[in-house]
Amino acid sequence: MADAQHNPLLTRHAEALDLFTERLGAVRPDQWDAPTPCAEWTVRDLVNHLTVEQLWVPSLVREGSSTDARGDAFDGDQLGDDPATTWVRAASAARAAFSEPNALERTVHLSYGDSSAADYCAEMTTDAVVHSWDLARAIGGDERLPGELVSFAARQVAPHAADLSKTGYFAEPVEPPPGSDPQTKLLCLLGRRP
């Protein structure tokens, strides 16, 4: 784990998970069915999505498994009766898997092909950052994102921005208002309307 203390990617990853955990802690019992900026997702759907992403990490990074080999192991609602605890366990396991010695040098077998574990970790970090905003917007919480995480996510998204809406996972980019700050530009690039 000493490696994790000095690796900027693992630092950003940990910060993004902590940010989502903080936002999740603000969800009231009556908000789980509230809509989110993600089309057709409720708060529970959004939290489940990010939890499932974390559940995949140990088998993909540590075990060298593939999404095809695991099949539908994490399909459906994984949150159970205590979504916050389920999230914390999944996030902790993902953090531990990425932090193992040489873990980021491994190859992971994802649904869209092979990737370096470092690129996979960067993708997971960006997803946690953006979904932290989505969750905050859905529950009326603090929508501000830390500047370091916004900059990190923007660097990750920029090279693929033109193709994101073609994946079906992102809405078309939105033109940011003149003079927008970096967070607004990032969210608009990802089809959000901050």
Write the pLDDT tens digit of every residue in 34-54. Answer: 999 988 899 999 999 999 999
Beta bridge partners of 66: 109
Please report which confidence band the pLDDT of residue 3 belongs to, taking 50, 70 and 90 as the band edges.
Answer: very low
Write the pLDDT tens digit of every residue in 66-86. Answer: 666 666 767 778 799 999 999
How confident is the model at residue 113, as a pLDDT?
82
Across all residues in the chain, what is the average pLDDT?
89
176-182-186 Cα angle (round to 5) = 60
- Encoding tokens for residue 169? 């996972």
- Distance, in Å, from the CA atom of 164 to the CA atom of 179, rounded to the nearest integer, reads 24
Write the pLDDT tens digit of every residue in 113-139. Answer: 889 999 999 999 999 999 999 999 999
**57, 127, 174 from 71: Cα distances, Å:** 14, 22, 35
Torsion angle of C-alpha atoms 33, 176, 11, 61, degrees rounded to 10: 60
